[in-house]
Amino acid sequence: MSTAPPAPVGTSPRQAHQGDSAALPRFAWVPIAVLAVGFFTVGMLVASRYGYFGDELYFLAAGDHPAPGYVDQPPGVPLVARAMQTLFPDSLVALRLPSLLVTTGYIVIAALTTRELGGKRLAQTCVAGACMLAPHFVGSAHLLVTYSFDQALWAWILWLLVRWTRKYQQGESGDLLLLIGAGLITAVTLQFKLLVPALWLVLVPAAVVFGPRRLPLRPGLWVAGLLSVLSVLPGLLWQIDNGWPQLDMAEVVDSETGGPASFLRVLFTQVGPVGGVLTVVGLYGLLFRRHLRAYRFLGVTVVALTALFALSSGRPYYLAGCYAVLFAAAAVVVQHWWQQRPDTVTYRWLFRGWTLAVALSYALGAQGAINTLPIAPVSEISPRNVVATASLGWQQITAQIAEQYRALPGETPTAVVTRDYWSASALHHFGPEHGLSDVYSTSRGFWYFDRPADDVERVVYLGADRGQLEKWFGDVRKVDTVETDLASATYYEDMRIWVASDPKEPWSQLWPRLHHMSLW
């Protein structure tokens, strides 16, 4: 173990032994704890607002159909949903608790990353505050969604790499432990989303070009890679057995995004005004500032990933795991700039103006964060608020479908089928108390769970139109439309409910023809 004090960021191991260095700053335990607890408390207070989001119901349904992989995701979130439902049945707050915990953890990791880069306690606190005010993180703390876990685990991986780089620059040990730790976290990340290989495939070549060039040669990195491959192998085998449906999902995502310009616009707006400024300053610092030169490969990685996701029609939140290191780098750039200032009247006034501007920016960011919280009355929810409108009316829709199901005459074998997986998931969750047990959907991953038995001669069908259904059934009649009578319109208002009889083919042949990867 080296006994030399830590070197300034960007220096070589030899320079580290020349004594021109400062100790790693103390961690701001008190303010970070206050911010994290405050964020968690607010999240708990609003966790029960509105109702289950459509994807949350889908995760509950997927958890009831355990598998090593699914069409649109690895098994991580369905397993979490199943665990929370088992421990705390029908508790919306408990279901969302894991996302709130990992997002709160993101705030702490961002502060730790700032410390690793040399940021003092004020810088750490500012970065944590910027994270908790970012609308994206406020939203992802409120829902059980895949990206809540993915972004927090990315931030953890990047923190370990920043720490490894600092220690490597100083000639310290701990190399194996840190890189294997990054591998273990990567293995866990692959159980929630399959994006993290893109991080490593860009990051390692960037390190070869910009340094630290010996990163690919470290034994810990190879162990990390082996752990990651082993963790994803069951899911890959499931994809192979089912014809690689994950590849079809890429086309769906492409159809739902607005191109590179929209990607970049949302990339900045999702972190609010403070986060947007920190993103730009942090990227500048990683790419061009001498005192952050050792971490230039991370800046290059962010640029390359941004281009990759923007041009491949990815979603802007794919990069959310990188905000921690960008915010941290920005805070260190500002701190370094202030430490190097001349002690003049002009700079003292500049400091006062800067402090006022920062305070106003955080106040503006707080307003945006509050607006993101699900606190508005149902009557004031905008129809464009997809998360809110797709969290309302599930019980009413289920009751309406069940009423049509029970009203059917005779003993004809009957099932319930929906055009989209959100409503099928809601019927799967709420249906048993209304006497609905056989629920199926032609949509995306729900299609894989099961299909109607071949003796089913009649279905209550939600969604689609008469022309579509008449291709597959001999008799189609409309029996109702969805009416929830809520103060705000749901995603399903006026959607048609059909009774379709006399399938033209056995369900074993008809079911593959009905499958589609879109939501609707």
In whole angstroms, give the CA distance from residue 440 to residue 11: 61
Which uninterrupted H or E stretch holds 391?
none
pLDDT of residue 427: 96
Alpha-carbon distances, residue 484 vs 379, 414, 418, 489 (angstroms): 13, 24, 17, 8
Domains held by the chain: number: 2
In whole angstroms, give the CA distance from residue 206 to residue 340: 30
Range of the domain at 407: 392-514
Global pTM?
A: 0.90
Q: For the segment 58-96, what is each residue's pLDDT rounded down to a tens digit?
A: 999 999 999 999 998 999 999 999 999 999 999 999 999
Q: For the segment 180-211, what is each residue's pLDDT rounded down to a tens digit?
A: 999 999 999 999 999 999 999 999 999 999 98
Least confident of 17-31, 106-120, 271-285: 17-31
How many Cα atoms within 13 Å fall on the side-chain side of residue 172?
Answer: 16
Residue holding tokens 């070589």?
12
Residue holding tokens 């106040």?
363
> Of 142, 183, 149, 135, whose CA–CA distance to 42 is shortest?
142
Q: For the segment 135-170, what is each residue's pLDDT rounded down to a tens digit?
A: 999 999 999 999 999 999 999 999 999 999 999 888
Domain assignment present for 90: yes
Please tell me the chain's helix, strand, coil percentages from 3-state DSSP, rounded to the nearest 5.
Answer: 65, 5, 30
Split at pLDDT 50, 70, 90, the class of 339 is confident
In whole angstroms, give the CA distance from residue 298 to residue 206: 8
Residue holding tokens 């019980």?
395
> For the residues 14-27, what does the mean pLDDT come to?
57
Domain assignment present for 126: yes
Mark whether 47 and 136 lie in a shared domain: yes
Mark whether 406 and 295 lie in a shared domain: no
Split at pLDDT 50, 70, 90, the class of 299 is very high
Domain assignment present for 103: yes
Mark whether 126 and 163 lie in a shared domain: yes
**Alpha carbon distance, N-terminus to C-terminus of the chain:** 59
pLDDT of residue 17: 37
Domain assignment present for 464: yes
Mark whether 341 and 455 lie in a shared domain: no
DSSP 8-state class, residue 516: B
333 or 173, which is more confident?
Answer: 333
- In three-state secondary structure terms, 460 is strand
pLDDT of residue 171: 82
Domain assignment present for 291: yes
Look up residue 207 and give its two tokens: 């390190």
Q: Is the model's pLDDT at 6 over the cut of 70?
A: no
Look up residue 250 and give its two tokens: 């890429």
281 or 266, which is more confident?
Answer: 281
Q: Is the model's pLDDT at 343 over the cut of 80?
A: no
In whole angstroms, give the CA distance from residue 139 to residue 407: 41
> For the residues 313-342, what does the mean pLDDT come to?
90
Mark whether 367 and 411 lie in a shared domain: no
In whole angstroms, give the CA distance from residue 113 to residue 278: 14
